[in-house]
Structures are given as structure tokens and as C-alpha cells.
């Protein structure tokens, strides 16, 4: 049955705070009254450097209390098809992960790391964060745009899949980290990660310039998901039999694309959904500064274009359960400069990416918020389609602000979807303005 698309008027009403009085209409997919919506935030390994965004900031901002999951980005896959870590520029950063000492002022629990403790860095801080928030789950995300290079090779044969999955479980779930001075060792990170998130970008479709892809990736991805599910379940049962802890379900998730061509090329949707706890839908980068014309990057609705609603419906049509679809929401914007043609700037030619703090064409929400407050830019909204942008006559930034995110969160509730995902947590303001907006609609009740 073709899933019903809620009308824009319905979503507009929801976004104006009428959710409590909105009765689900026929064909919609209302969630149970006590639904626990996923609120999944990506924490970037490299954000601790230039952005100086530390795990402790998740606590001081109030963000940690508003999340159900933290996805740690990223773990890499070696040319031999194994999960690995180390201090290899551009490939792995054990220093940030578990070697770097954190002082008392930067620590979640207020206690400085010692020289002889086996786990330090981000991993130990995440462990401390979980101690404060026992319901919070931490996932290791494997791949991402830059580190999906060897996924296709790792997933190519039954033997390679088995070895790959075993290496990932050993490194992250069992926590057997390579030794680095006093750091690491057998079981050093045991109990930290509650599951594995697969960010293969993309099976059977082009990704980053050096990422290998093959037509058979589609079936191999299904088999890889099955292998992860089998080995994770087997490890959980072995722990239970040995009396190492209470029964545990290790979660398995994936980041999946918006483009129908990429979905059909790389994903046997009904099959993978049997083994995945949920998928995080790409809800952004529909357009960006790699194009020569300005456009929306994350609209809720769009006619004859990518949108959140289109993405949701495309996954539903292919057999994904609504409750397993988690909508990706950006904590950043895409921008162009040299925009000509007048008007509000949207759909106009541009000369290139807009200058930005870390990478031209890409700017954190917290910086865009300052631009919006400066008076130099005009804030525009497409209330019918659910997106916003800033334009100063020359430079345009398309992004999501709290109002847009509340509308999207209301859409998640109205469609009975699984929740919201955020890339990435370091883009939010110091007081967690964006996560607070989402939590106001999808938070625990």
C-alpha cells in the first residue's frame, strides 16, 4: 500500500503547537502514546581539536539528558577488511579516542585522568557520561564519507564478512584496544559501546573518490548486516552464559541515503530491516555548494526534488517499518557566495562555496545563528515546505533553525516514525538550542 503523505497544512498546524489536538487521519502511521523516540546525535572524533567540542560539553549544555544514542564518528576499515585503530594521520586517531589525558576541568566527572589508567580520551569521557545517564547508549559508527573506502572489499565473501565483523566486535564491543603506553589492552573499553552503526557510503554507488563499489554490494550488504546481527547476538549469549552480566541486546543500525537510485542500487530494504534495529535517514545535503545554483539542503517537503518527506516515503514503499525510520536533521548549513539574480537568493546562480570557519560552503549552526542575529542577513522561510535560509544579497546559507526542527519533529510524531538523528552535535549552541527544540517535541513523556 502506498504510504500516505501528510498534507502541508497538517504539518503547519502541528508546528504551531496543535499536536495535542491533532487526531491522526486515515492512512497516517500514529505511534503508540508511550513511544520512546530515538534522539541520535553524532559526536565527531576530530571535533575535540579545532572546534574544541569535548564530551563534557554534552553534559554542561544539557544535551546528554536529551539524547537516547550517541554515535561516535568514526571507526575505520583497513585495506585488509578489518576494524582497526592507531595513530595514523587521516586514517585513525587513537590519541583522541583513548590515549589523550583529560584534566579535571575537562572531565565529565571532574576527576583528572591518571598516567596509568588504561582508558582515557573520548572513550573514557563517554563512559563517564553513561554513568551519569544510564539509559544513554553509545554506538561506534563505522565508515562515513571518507572511511567507507574498503567496505566493499570487507563485505565481498562469507569469509571476509566473518573476519571483518569479528574484528569490529573484538575492538569495540569487547573493548580489546591496542596498547599505547599505559593505555589500551584487553578489555580496556569493554562495556562502552552498546552496538554498531554502519555508515557505508554507499553500497553499489559512488561515494568518496577512492571508495570502492561493485554491483554485488547490494546483496553483500544484506549478508554483512546478517553477519553483524549473528555475531552480536552470539556474543551477548556467551556473556550471559558465563555470568558476565545481565542479558543484553547489542543494537545494530545504519545510515542510509535519500536518493531512490542509491536505495535501489545498494539496499534490499525488507531483508536488512529484519536485522537492523533502525536506520538513520539522510535528511540533508539534498543540495550544496558543489552545485552552481543555490537550493534547499534539507526541506521537509519539495516538489520534484529531494526532501525529508520523499525520503521517508521512498523507504516505506520499499518495505521499511515506519518505527524503524529515524529522520536525519542537520546542525549545520550549506552556503554559496557570488549569488546573482536578485529576489530572495534561492534558485539563483552562484560563483562558489561561501567562506566559512572550517570548510568553505559548510558552517555550524552556532555560527549561522550569529549571522542571523547580526542584522546583515535576512532570514527567509518557506513555511509551506518547511525550510529556512539566510541571504545578504550575495551570500546564501540554507539551514535548519529551532522552528524548522520543531516542525520536522512534529512530522516524526504524526507519521509514527522512530525519531530524529543529528549531524553533528558540535554544531549546536553552547546551551543546546537545537537539541532542546527537538526534545520539546520528541523527548520522554
Question: Is the Cβ–Cβ distance between 55 and 133 less than 8 Å?
Answer: no
For the chain, the distance separating the N- and C-terminal CA atoms, rounded to the nearest angstrom, is: 31
pLDDT band at 19 (very low <50, low <70, confident <90, very high): very low
Examine the pLDDT at 290 and tell me if it is beyond 70.
yes
Examine the pLDDT at 17 and tell me if it is beyond 80.
no
The answer as to whether 193 is a domain residue is yes
Average pLDDT over residues 212-230: 98
The answer as to whether 110 is a domain residue is yes
pLDDT band at 243 (very low <50, low <70, confident <90, very high): confident
The pLDDT tens digits of the residues spanning 96-137 come to: 999 999 999 999 999 999 999 999 999 999 999 999 999 999
Examine the pLDDT at 46 and tell me if it is beyond 80.
yes
What local confidence, expressed as pLDDT, does residue 7 receive? 53
The answer as to whether 377 is a domain residue is no
Examine the pLDDT at 367 and tell me if it is beyond 50.
yes
Average pLDDT over residues 277-292: 98
What local confidence, expressed as pLDDT, does residue 207 receive? 97
What local confidence, expressed as pLDDT, does residue 20 receive? 37
The answer as to whether 62 is a domain residue is yes
What local confidence, expressed as pLDDT, does residue 10 receive? 52
Q: Calculate what percentage of the chain has a pLDDT beyond 70.
A: 92
Q: Return the SS3 of 354.
A: coil
Query: Taking all residues of the chain, what is their mean pLDDT, rounded to a whole number?
Result: 93
What local confidence, expressed as pLDDT, does residue 35 receive? 64
Tell me which H or E stretch contains 83.
strand 83-84
Catalytic site includes residue 201: yes
Average pLDDT over residues 25-35: 42
Lowest mean pLDDT among 38-42, 239-243, 276-280: 239-243
Average pLDDT over residues 248-266: 98
Domain count, the chain: 1
Examine the pLDDT at 241 and tell me if it is beyond 90.
no
Q: How many CA atoms lie within 13 A of 340 on its CB side?
A: 6
The answer as to whether 305 is a domain residue is yes
Give the burial string for 123-152 (b: 16+ CB within 10 Å, else e): bbbbbbbbeebeebbbbbbbbbebbbbbbb
Question: Is the Cβ–Cβ distance between 121 and 72 less than 8 Å?
Answer: no
pLDDT band at 162 (very low <50, low <70, confident <90, very high): very high
Phi-psi region of 329 (alpha: psi -120 to 50; beta: other; left: phi over 0): beta
Average pLDDT over residues 425-431: 98
**Is the pTM above the cut of 0.85?**
yes
Supply the range of the domain harboring residue 23. Answer: 10-331+401-442
Backbone angles phi, psi at 281, to 5 degrees: -80, 135
Q: Calculate what percentage of the chain has a pLDDT beyond 90.
A: 90
Average pLDDT over residues 300-312: 98
Q: Return the SS3 of 143.
A: strand
Q: Return the SS3 of 430.
A: coil
Report the length, in residues, of the chain: 445
Question: Is the Cβ–Cβ distance between 259 and 306 less than 8 Å?
Answer: yes
What local confidence, expressed as pLDDT, does residue 445 receive? 55
The answer as to whether 144 is a domain residue is yes
Q: Which three cell numbers stand for residue 238?
A: 556467551
pLDDT band at 21 (very low <50, low <70, confident <90, very high): very low
Examine the pLDDT at 215 and tell me if it is beyond 60.
yes
Average pLDDT over residues 310-337: 98
The answer as to whether 349 is a domain residue is no
Which of 201, 291, 363, 433 is the catalytic position? 201
Average pLDDT over residues 89-93: 97
Give the burial string for 362-398 (b: 16+ CB within 10 Å, else e): bbbbbbbbebbeeeebeebebeebbbbbbbbeebbbb
Whole-angstrom CA distances from 401 to 90, 325, 332, 378, 391 are 32, 22, 9, 14, 15
What local confidence, expressed as pLDDT, does residue 28 receive? 40
Average pLDDT over residues 7-20: 46
Q: Which residues contact 215 (CB under 8 A, 6 or more apart)?
A: 204, 265
The answer as to whether 174 is a domain residue is yes
Tell me, what CATH number does 170's domain have? 3.20.20.80
Amino acid at each position: 500500500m502506498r504510504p500516505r503523505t501528510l498534507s502541508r497544512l497538517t504539518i503547519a498546524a502541528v508546528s504551531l503547537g496543535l499536536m495535542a489536538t491533532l487526531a491522526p487521519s486515515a492512512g497516517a502511521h500514529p505511534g503508540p502514546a508511550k513511544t520512546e523516540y530515538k534522539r541520535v546525535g553524532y559526536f565527531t572524533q576530530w571535533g575535540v581539536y579545532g572546534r574544541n567540542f569535548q564530551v563534557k560539553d554534552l553534559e554542561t549544555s544539557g544535551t546528554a539528558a536529551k539524547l537516547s544514542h550517541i554515535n561516535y564518528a568514526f571507526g575505520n576499515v583497513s585495506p585488509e577488511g578489518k576494524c582497526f585503530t592507531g595513530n595514523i594521520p587521516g586514517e585513525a586517531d587513537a590519541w583522541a579516542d583513548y590515549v589523550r589525558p583529560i584534566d579535571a576541568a575537562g572531565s565529565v566527572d571532574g576527576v583528572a585522568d591518571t598516567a596509568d589508567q588504561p582508558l582515557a580520551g573520548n572513550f573514557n569521557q563517554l563512559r563517564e557520561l553513561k554513568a551519569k545517564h544510564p539509559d544513554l547508549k553509545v554506538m561506534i559508527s563505522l565508515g562515513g564519507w571518507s572511511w567507507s573506502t574498503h567496505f566493499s572489499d570487507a563485505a565481498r565473501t562469507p569469509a571476509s564478512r566473518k573476519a571483518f565483523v569479528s574484528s569490529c566486535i573484538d575492538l569495540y564491543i569487547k573493548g580489546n584496544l591496542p596498547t599505547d603506553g599505559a593505555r589500551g589492552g584487553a578489555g580496556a573499553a569493554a562495556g562502552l559501546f552498546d552496538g554498531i552503526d554502519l555508515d557505508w557510503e554507499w553500497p553499489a554507488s559512488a561515494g568518496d573518490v577512492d571508495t570502492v563499489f561493485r554491483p554485488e554490494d547490494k546483496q553483500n550488504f544484506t549478508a554483512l548486516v546478517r553477519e553483524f546481527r549473528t555475531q552480536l547476538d552470539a556474543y551477548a549469549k556467551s556473556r550471559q552464559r558465563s555470568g558476565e552480566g545481565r542479558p543484553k541486546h547489542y543494537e545494530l543500525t545504519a545510515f542510509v541515503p535519500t536518493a531512490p537510485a542509491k536505495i535501489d542500487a545498494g539496499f534490499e530494504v525488507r531483508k536488512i530491516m529484519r536485522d537492523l534495529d533502525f536506520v538513520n535517514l539522510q535528511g540533508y545535503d539534498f543540495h550544496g555548494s558543489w552545485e552552481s545554483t543555490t537550493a534547499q539542503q534539507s526541506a521537509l517537503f519539495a516538489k520534484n526534488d529531494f526532501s525529508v518527506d520523499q525520503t521517508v516515503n521512498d523507504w516505506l514503499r520499499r518495505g521499511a517499518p515506519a518505527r524503524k525510520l529515524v529522520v536525519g536533521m542537520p546542525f549545520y548549513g550549506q552556503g554559496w557566495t557570488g549569488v546573482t539574480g536578485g529576489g530572495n537568493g534561492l534558485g539563483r546562480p552562484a560563483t562558489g562555496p561561501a567562506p566559512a570557519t572550517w570548510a568553505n560552503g559548510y558552517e555550524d549552526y552556532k555560527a549561522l545563528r550569529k549571522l542571523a542575529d547580526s542584522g546583515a542577513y535576512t532570514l527567509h522561510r518557506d513555511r509551506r515546505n518547511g525550510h529556512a535560509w539566510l541571504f545578504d544579497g550575495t551570500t546564501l546559507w540554507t539551514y535548519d533553525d529551532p522552528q524548522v526542527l520543531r516542525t520536522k519533529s512534529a512530522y516524526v510524531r504524526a507519521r509514527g516514525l522512530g525519531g530524529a538523528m543529528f549531524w553533528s552535535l558540535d554544531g549546536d549552541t553552547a546551551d543546546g538550542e537545537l537539541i532542546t527544540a527537538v526534545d520539546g517535541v520528541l523527548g520522554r513523556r
